Chains A and B, each alone.
Chain A
Amino acid sequence: MTLDDILNPRLGQALRPNIWDAVALILVIGAMVLLVYGGEQTTLPLSALDTSPVSLDPANLPAYALRTTMRMLLAIACSIIFTLVYATLAAKSRRAEMVLIPLLDILQSVPILGFLTFTVVFFLNLFPGQVFGAELASVFAIFTSQAWNMTFSMYQSIRNVPKDLDDAALSFHLSAWQRFWRLDVPFAMPGLIWNTMMSMSGGWFFVVASEAITVGNTTVTLPGVGSYVALGIQQRNLPAIGYAILTMLLVIIAYDQLLFRPVVAWADKFRFEQTASATEPTSWMLDLFRRTRALRALTYPFAALNRAFSNLHLAIPESLKIPVRSAPSSRTIDAIWLALIVAGTTYAGWKVYQYMSATLGFSDILSAAGFGLITLSRVVVLITLATLIWVPVGVWIGLRPKLAERVQPVAQFLAAFPANLAFPVFVVIIERYGLDPNIWLSPLMILGTQWYILFNVIAGASAFPTDLREAAGSFHLRGWRWWTKAILPGIFPYYVTGAITASGGSWNASIVAEVASWGDTHLTAKGLGAYIALATEAGDFPRVVLGITVMCILVTLFNRLIWRPLYAFGERRLRLG
């Protein structure tokens, strides 16, 4: 909303409803009713899950989809709040940064599915006998898959606030609170929204995996699309799987149209550019609301409230104030702080060692590492294969703007789609033709993540400058030479971005992909994912911890030794313009 609306002297006329108000009102009321309905379901006792078990009747799917979506949105809300607090703390305080950022880096590479074990136990004990506990466990699992990249993006943005705006905020006496809402948050907004969308996409994968959880002898089945699929798998009901996939398609289209597009279109003003962009993102939903009169008038109090909120004069005690300019800080405090960190780390390390060494020996570590290497080779082979397939396809599409325009949303959509819904289809095929699960289960790991490579390459090829293409053409650059000298360097930074996401996602997916079942058929591929999944099922916590640790180390090493240097190289040498 713009300010001249508020200023509008013809407010009386502005309040008279128009046709768009009716449409928008129905949408708003509808959303509220759905929220209340979904919310009511969570307060039931846990035993209610047994009395009204998940059924495969497709008529239940809308309700299940609603429950699943609500978990998702709740997790996103939590992630945003977490991001605002954590990223700000890390960006504004040097000492907090020393701990928070490496921590975030590790958390980012921890396989989230491995977490489920601990969190489910924790939350069920927190609310014994209530559905709420299980719901929280599920929401927390989704949260852990969403928060980290959003936090990183926010942290980077706050650190990179332009110097002159920083000075302006200071010299116009903005309070820390005002500055946060007027400068830091708006500046971080585009990156935050983009990462929220990515997180939302990634989250579907985990929401589906976290609804039907078995830890040792506890089995919790929350009503939702994920449990529906789990039941379909148990009962070997292929049509049910089809219905579930269709439902997810509709849900993803709906939230994209109703939620993200309006937000992206609205947030266009936060892009830090001094020139107007050629193509502004549009959204019919946002346009609809912008055309309404009465509903918009209803938002004025909220706008005013928002202003009042961001202008609150929160008095921070002088002693707690974080100096805006890093004054030469006292070395003794630094030393004490460092000592505290070291002591804490040592203590935690000792505890972990104690816990693990009680049941595990050196041979367990070796076997876990061996499984890790098997999964590592799977990831490498799969990324290579996906690269060989999708880079040429992506380039071909990206160089045809008309085609790219139509394919790009599809590729992004496929990346957002929870690929684990489609796993049963593969299992059926593997079973029917008696294929080796060690090889043929592997593609499942990259089923959902390969699209990141595709849509990033398309983006890169679309952005490849026309003059360079023409230059290549006029110098008769063709075939292999054209690929290695012109287009591959041109799309390299984009490709690396896509491949990093794809490889990270594949590691995570290995936990569900290396163990797949269809009714009584259980297929297992040797690997670290299967190791963690089987240990989780057996309730063998020390092995779960060991598996996660090994995976963490491998992912971090892989990122540090291969992807980061490649990324840095791409950014430094091959970034066009």
Chain B
Amino acid sequence: MLDIAKNSNLLEIRSVCRSFPKGSGEELLVLEKVDLTIHSGEIVGLLGRSGSGKSTLLRIIAGLITPSSGDAKCRGETIAGPPNGVSMVFQSFALFPWLTVLQNVELGLEALGVESDERRKRALAAIDLIGLDGFESAYPKELSGGMRQRVGFARALVVHPDLLLMDEPFSALDVLTAETLRTDLIDLWIEGRLPIKSVLMVTHNIEEAVLMCDRILVFSSNPGRVAAEIKVDLPHPRNRLDPTFRQLVDTIYARMTQRAEVRMPQGIHGTGVGMALSHVSSNVLSGLIETLAGPPYNGHADLPVLANHLQLEADDIFHLGESLQLLRFAQLSEGDLVLTEAGKRFANLETDARKKLFAEHLMSYVPVMGLIRRVLDERPSHTAPAARFRNELEDYMSEDRADETLKTIVSWARYAELFAYDEQSETFSLENPH
């Protein structure tokens, strides 16, 4: 008892693991031994690639899923079901379309059994605070994305939670709207007008994390674990153009690509057929190679600069970079993307020659491509059901990942004219329609 009373920690996560069943029935570890403590008065960010388990961790804290092992405590009590004093802002807003703004905001209070006059008063106060005055009787579909997310904030704040969880709250908004909402929120936070003690936010946007958080936990993928903890001591309001700010962003970029590099050797040679592929269109890959080869990059690009130029999130640019690296058309290192010799050659070739080079690289560096081709060559019918390879993939990864990998295989193989795929019968074959 004394321990709990003394403990000012809002949240304590001790060596939490979480795994999900794979297609083959085995378990896939997505979160490995994560520790996290949140004190009163801080904004903490969970930053990582998609699939790094950061959202899983948030959902464990929100009480929506249970950890496979480890200890998750909120205000000294083990989390079983959504804990009291924690509320959540959703990426997709998750507003009830049949309720008005006011009714949506009142919903959480109704669930708590707050009496109706009090409910109305608090809801109006929250609506007022978040800048939604005049929209009380509007339905969500009448509002813009930014206004909808404001409703999401008002709904979360009205219950006066100790801990506010935010799951990529700005990523469904356009750039300008997101920025306004971020600054409004930070203004309210530093003025002390938010009825909350701490914030935990998940994001894959590096600049957003540096802009808002006091502490950033960088997650690495496969399985997800905390790779680094970075303190941000810059005073609010923060200026994106401030050199210290820029340097911090660069550092995090470098750290995240460094992780990717460590992963690569096992990622390619070690796993063989079980390599998970992310779907990137061959068009996008060609376009990126051309962009990298041309001025001003001339084969060598700084990732933050490239992301900015292409209007891409850090996560997207990592995806693209990794696909190029996997095919040996480029190399990721220390926050840079550098074209290889093959990449440079690719940029200068005609369509047919590009397809040929692409096919060679697929056969050499993507083991599953070679496997499918071999099976098709060996069989007298020169056809094979996709299920055969799907099962094999599912020995190594979840069903979703296997699906995505298969989709990638089909799309790349079609571009490279390695083999054909019939969607209806779900079979691979060597015949191309004439």
Whether A and B are associated in the same complex: the answer reads yes
Interface string of A148-170 (1 = CB under 8 A from B): 00000000000000101101101
Chain A residue at smallest Cβ distance from B88 = A171
Bound Cα distance from A172 to B113, whole angstroms: 12
What are the residues of chain B within 8 A of A497 when measuring CB–CB? none
Contact B94 A167 (CB under 8 A): yes
A50 within 8 A of B: no
B141 within 8 A of A: yes
Given contacts A172-B159, A270-B97, A325-B65, contact A167 B90 (CB under 8 A): yes
**Shortest distance between the CB of B136 and any CB in chain A (Å):** 7
Chain B residue at smallest Cβ distance from A324 = B81
A466 within 8 A of B: no
Contact A313 B113 (CB under 8 A): yes
Given contacts A3-B102, A275-B141, contact A171 B97 (CB under 8 A): no
**Shortest distance between the CB of B116 and any CB in chain A (Å):** 8
Contact B111 A175 (CB under 8 A): yes
Contact B112 A271 (CB under 8 A): no
What are the residues of chain B within 8 A of A274 when measuring CB–CB? 97, 140-141, 148
Chain B residue at smallest Cβ distance from A186 = B98
**Shortest distance between the CB of B176 and any CB in chain A (Å):** 19
Contact A168 B100 (CB under 8 A): no
A57 within 8 A of B: no
**Shortest distance between the CB of A34 and any CB in chain B (Å):** 32
What are the residues of chain B within 8 A of A7 when measuring CB–CB? 136
Q: CB within 8 Å of A: which of B76-133?
A: 81-82, 84, 86-88, 90-94, 96-100, 102-103, 107-108, 110-113
Contact B97 A273 (CB under 8 A): yes
Contact A170 B82 (CB under 8 A): yes
Contact A164 B92 (CB under 8 A): yes
Chain B residue at smallest Cβ distance from A328 = B21
What are the residues of chain A within 8 A of B139 when measuring CB–CB? 269
A178 within 8 A of B: yes
Contact A171 B63 (CB under 8 A): yes
B62 within 8 A of A: yes
What are the residues of chain B within 8 A of A165 when measuring CB–CB? 94, 96
What are the residues of chain A within 8 A of B140 when measuring CB–CB? 274
Interface string of A1-20 (1 = CB under 8 A from B): 01110010000000000000
Given contacts A170-B64, A178-B110, contact A2 B100 (CB under 8 A): yes
B142 within 8 A of A: yes
Chain B residue at smallest Cβ distance from A311 = B110
Q: Which of B64, B98, B111 is A269 in contact with, Cβ under 8 Å? A: B98
Contact A167 B88 (CB under 8 A): yes
Chain A residue at smallest Cβ distance from B142 = A276
Bound Cα distance from A270 to B136, whole angstroms: 18
Number of interface residues of A (CB under 8 A): 32
Contact B108 A167 (CB under 8 A): no
Bound Cα distance from A4 to B134, whole angstroms: 11
A89 within 8 A of B: no
A173 within 8 A of B: yes
What are the residues of chain A within 8 A of B112 when measuring CB–CB? 173
Q: Which of A170, A172, A271 is B107 in contact with, Cβ under 8 Å? A: A172
B424 within 8 A of A: yes
Number of interface residues of B (CB under 8 A): 39
Bound Cα distance from A193 to B237, whole angstroms: 51
Interface string of A193-211 (1 = CB under 8 A from B): 0000000000000000000
Contact A168 B88 (CB under 8 A): yes
Bound Cα distance from A171 to B163, whole angstroms: 12
**Shortest distance between the CB of A297 and any CB in chain B (Å):** 18
**Shortest distance between the CB of B56 and any CB in chain A (Å):** 13
Q: CB within 8 Å of B: which of A553-577?
A: 573
Contact B64 A182 (CB under 8 A): no
A272 within 8 A of B: yes
Given contacts A3-B137, A276-B142, contact A171 B110 (CB under 8 A): no
Given contacts A3-B103, A167-B88, A276-B141, contact A271 B108 (CB under 8 A): no
Q: CB within 8 Å of B: which of A319-333?
A: 325
**Shortest distance between the CB of B111 and any CB in chain A (Å):** 5
Bound Cα distance from A168 to B90, whole angstroms: 8
Chain B residue at smallest Cβ distance from A269 = B98
What are the residues of chain A within 8 A of B159 when measuring CB–CB? 172
Chain B residue at smallest Cβ distance from A167 = B64
Contact A2 B90 (CB under 8 A): no
**Shortest distance between the CB of B104 and any CB in chain A (Å):** 9
Given contacts A2-B137, A4-B136, A182-B107, contact A173 B142 (CB under 8 A): no
Contact A4 B96 (CB under 8 A): no
**Shortest distance between the CB of B22 and any CB in chain A (Å):** 15
A174 within 8 A of B: yes
A183 within 8 A of B: yes
Bound Cα distance from A325 to B81, whole angstroms: 10
What are the residues of chain B within 8 A of A170 when measuring CB–CB? 63-64, 81-82
Bound Cα distance from A264 to B155, whole angstroms: 29
Given contacts A3-B100, A573-B424, contact A164 B94 (CB under 8 A): yes
Given contacts A172-B108, A173-B112, A274-B140, contact A182 B82 (CB under 8 A): no
Chain B residue at smallest Cβ distance from A310 = B110
Bound Cα distance from A197 to B230, whole angstroms: 60
What are the residues of chain B within 8 A of A174 when measuring CB–CB? 107, 111
Bound Cα distance from A162 to B91, whole angstroms: 13
Q: CB within 8 Å of B: which of A1-58?
A: 2-4, 7
Q: CB within 8 Å of B: which of A258-307?
A: 269-276
Which of B92, B97, B102 has the most A CB atoms < 10 Å from its CB?
B97
What are the residues of chain B within 8 A of A164 when measuring CB–CB? 90-94
Contact B88 A173 (CB under 8 A): no
Bound Cα distance from A182 to B104, whole angstroms: 10
What are the residues of chain B within 8 A of A2 when measuring CB–CB? 100, 137
What are the residues of chain B within 8 A of A271 when measuring CB–CB? 97
Chain A residue at smallest Cβ distance from B64 = A167
Chain A residue at smallest Cβ distance from B104 = A168
Interface string of B149-179 (1 = CB under 8 A from A): 0000001000100000000000000000000
List 3 A-B pairs, minimum CB-CB distance, nearest first.
Answer: A164-B94, A168-B94, A172-B108
List 6 A-B residue pairs with CB atoms under 8 Å apart, sorted by A's residue number. Answer: A170-B82, A171-B82, A172-B82, A174-B107, A189-B98, A274-B148
Known contacts A171-B87, A274-B141; 10 further A-B pairs (Cβ under 8 A): A4-B136, A171-B64, A171-B88, A172-B111, A182-B99, A183-B96, A270-B98, A272-B97, A274-B148, A573-B424
- A→B interface (CB under 8 Å): 2-4, 7, 162, 164-165, 167-168, 170-175, 178, 182-183, 186, 189, 269-276, 311, 313, 325, 573
